[in-house]
């Protein structure tokens, strides 16, 4: 009985959100802006869907025109994620703190793995904040066709809006967790264990942009694969778990032999990105210009491939689901 009620409520919420999206699209098309003044159009705008001319026909301006819908999806994800939970958004703080405490106790305390001379809690927390953002964006984007198939089959809008919205919704969690990391940094500054706030933090927005681009790139590739091969949906959590252990989160980047660091930047840009984040907070880093350049090249290539493949797959995705 209770299961049936939950199913009915879930279907009701899904139908309600679909209705909201439809109204938002219609409202956004009826209200046009002409040189700063709003003009009410007398008729609804007609959207003509035409096939793309090739693999590389990418219309980013088309995505920008649906920015209001992008924000709507982001707000939906935030509300749904912590709805009917006792602690609500407090989980955003408790999860990284609990994992930081576990790593500090087991990895640093018992196993004795070096943290490069930095206090273990802030060493792990700065990496976990970025890792959490990456894993959440990839998990959400990889399920885009499965989780939103009911919406895609009813109304047209750029499918790329949904995975891009996950960057914004998870960005809220990233901002809150960064606040916790800054509080730790201030505490260790007061105790004299770290240098504290520095001009290096001004470069952290560049780290966020880079990890957002790489997260979206991986998520789009996995999302396109999931639309055709359901095995990818089962493989993604396993892949993320493996990725955690091959990325310098529980160990410093300096533990990688110097002759392999640039290769690491090509094969695993996330390793370089996390080390850049640690540099912004803690000041020391084993990453140089060659590793940063390698990570940027791989991120750019994978992002381009991900967008092209995703937009190619979206044409026939609903026939395969």
DSSP letter string over 42-69?
A: SSPPPPPP---SSTT---HHHHHTTHHH
Domain extent at residue 26 = 1-46
Tell me the mean pLDDT in the region 222-240.
89
| Predicted pLDDT of residue 52 | 55
The structure tokens listed for 17 are 């959100």
Count Cβ atoms within 10 A of the Cβ of residue 36 and give its class: 0-12 exposed, 13-18 middle, 19 or more buried.
Answer: exposed
Residues 23 and 163 in one domain: no
- Evaluate if residue 29 carries a pLDDT over 50: no
Nearest alpha-carbon partner for 181 in 166, 191, 196: 196
Residues 78 and 121 in one domain: yes
| Predicted pLDDT of residue 177 | 94
Tell me the mean pLDDT in the region 189-202.
80
With a pLDDT cut of 70, the percent of the chain lying above it is 79
With a pLDDT cut of 90, the percent of the chain lying above it is 43
Residues 98 and 25 in one domain: no
- Evaluate if residue 128 carries a pLDDT over 90: yes
Nearest alpha-carbon partner for 123 in 108, 138, 142: 108
Asked, for residue 283, whether it belongs to a domain, the answer is yes
| Predicted pLDDT of residue 286 | 82
What DSSP element (H or E) covers 33?
strand 31-34
- Evaluate if residue 239 carries a pLDDT over 80: yes
- Evaluate if residue 141 carries a pLDDT over 80: yes
CA triple 99-104-107, angle to 5 deg:
100
Residues 39 and 153 in one domain: no
Nearest alpha-carbon partner for 77 in 132, 137, 27, 37: 137
Residues 3 and 82 in one domain: no
Asked, for residue 52, whether it belongs to a domain, the answer is no
Asked, for residue 240, whether it belongs to a domain, the answer is yes
Residues 109 and 230 in one domain: yes
- Evaluate if residue 31 carries a pLDDT over 50: no
* Contact assessment for residue 205 and residue 253, using Cβ atoms and an 8 Å cutoff: no
Q: How far apart (Å, rounded) are the C-alpha atoms in residues 171 and 100?
A: 20
| Predicted pLDDT of residue 60 | 67
Asked, for residue 51, whether it belongs to a domain, the answer is no
Neighbour count for residue 211 (Cβ, 10 Å): 24
Q: Total structural domains in the chain?
A: 2
Out of 34-48, 150-164, 227-241, least confident range = 34-48
Residues 107 and 195 in one domain: yes
The structure tokens listed for 294 are 């390698």
């Amino acid at each position: 009985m209770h299961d049936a009620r939950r199913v009915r409520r879930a279907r009701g919420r899904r139908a309600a959100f679909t209705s909201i999206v439809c109204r938002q699209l219609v409202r956004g098309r009826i209200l046009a802006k002409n040189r700063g003044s709003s003009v009410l159009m007398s008729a609804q705008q007609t959207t003509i869907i035409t096939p793309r001319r090739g693999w590389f026909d990418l219309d980013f301006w088309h995505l920008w025109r649906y920015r209001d819908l992008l924000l709507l999806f982001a707000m939906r994800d935030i509300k749904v994620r912590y709805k009917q939970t006792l602690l609500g958004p407090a989980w955003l703080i408790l999860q990284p703190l609990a994992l930081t405490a576990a790593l500090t106790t087991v990895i640093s305390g018992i196993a004795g793995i070096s943290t490069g001379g930095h206090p273990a809690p802030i060493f792990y927390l700065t990496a976990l904040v970025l890792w959490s953002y990456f894993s959440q964006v990839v998990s959400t984007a990889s399920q885009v066709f499965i989780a939103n198939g009911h919406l895609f089959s009813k109304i047209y809008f750029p499918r790329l809006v949904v995975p891009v919205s996950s960057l914004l919704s998870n960005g809220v969690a990233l901002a809150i967790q960064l606040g916790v990391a800054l509080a730790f940094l201030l505490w260790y500054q007061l105790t004299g264990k770290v240098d504290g706030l520095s001009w290096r933090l001004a470069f952290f927005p560049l780290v966020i942009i880079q990890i957002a681009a790489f997260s979206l790139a991986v998520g789009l590739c996995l999302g396109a694969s999931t639309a055709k091969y359901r095995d990818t949906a089962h493989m993604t959590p396993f892949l993320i778990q493996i990725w955690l252990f091959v990325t310098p989160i529980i160990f410093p980047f300096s533990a990688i032999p110097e002759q392999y660091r640039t290769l690491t930047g090509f094969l695993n840009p996330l390793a370089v990105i996390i080390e850049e984040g640690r540099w912004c907070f803690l000041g020391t880093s084993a990453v140089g210009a060659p590793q940063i350049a390698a990570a940027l090249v791989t991120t750019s290539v994978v992002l381009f491939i991900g967008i092209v493949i995703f937009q190619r797959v979206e044409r026939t995705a609903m026939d395969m689901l």
